[in-house]
């Protein structure tokens, strides 16, 4: 419970697109083709796109990740996901792709694995707690099942 006068720097748990990981960390997933949700902006964002995203007012990282596919640099993607998870402890972290389902869902499932969810349960976890349409392709599912 925050003390009087403290500033809450993470997401509101009930906000649209916010996934609560088992550790309690909150991460917002979203689709960049949709308007920015009302309320606070991210402190850090991880953008999963084929092309470099437009600049934003907050700190961000770009992972080259074509739609319906897997990250071009898997080691770099893992490093970026680890950074996002670490920062989600006390910052508003957003993970986003074009539609907010396939690549975002896959990344959120990988974050769930890093947070302690077994690989074999991570896709179901994200589909239950984020979007039932998360992780769209068989190879995205396989990527999560082998993610370490």
CB atoms within 10 A of CB 87: 19
Distance CA 21, CA 114 (A): 10
Q: Residue 8's pLDDT band (boundaries 50, 70, 90)?
A: low
Domain ranges of the chain: 18-146
Residues of the chain above pLDDT 90, percent:
92
pLDDT for 97 equals 98
Q: Residue 148's pLDDT band (boundaries 50, 70, 90)?
A: confident
CA distances 43 to 39, 46, 95, Å, are 13, 11, 11
Residues of the chain above pLDDT 70, percent:
95
pLDDT for 2 equals 46
Q: Dump pLDDT digits (tens) for 24-59.
A: 999 999 999 999 999 999 999 999 999 999 999 999
Q: Residue 9's pLDDT band (boundaries 50, 70, 90)?
A: confident
CB atoms within 10 A of CB 26: 19
18-146 classified as CATH 3.90.190.10: yes
* Residue 1 scores a pLDDT above 90: no
Residues 29 and 111: beta-carbon distance below 8 Å:
no
pLDDT for 3 equals 45
């Amino acid at each position: 419970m925050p003390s009087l006068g403290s500033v809450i720097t993470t997401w509101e748990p009930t906000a649209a697109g916010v996934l609560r990981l088992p550790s309690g960390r909150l991460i917002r997933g979203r689709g960049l083709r949709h308007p920015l949700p009302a309320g606070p902006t991210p402190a850090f964002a991880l953008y999963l796109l084929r092309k470099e995203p437009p600049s934003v007012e907050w700190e961000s990282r770009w992972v080259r990740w074509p739609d319906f596919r897997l990250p071009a640099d898997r080691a770099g993607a893992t490093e970026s996901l680890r950074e996002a998870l670490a920062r989600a402890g006390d910052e508003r972290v957003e993970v986003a792709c074009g539609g907010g389902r396939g690549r975002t869902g896959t990344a959120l499932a990988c974050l769930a694995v890093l947070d302690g969810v077994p690989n074999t349960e991570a896709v179901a976890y994200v589909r239950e707690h984020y979007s039932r349409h998360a992780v769209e392709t068989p190879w995205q599912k396989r990527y999560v099942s082998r993610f370490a």
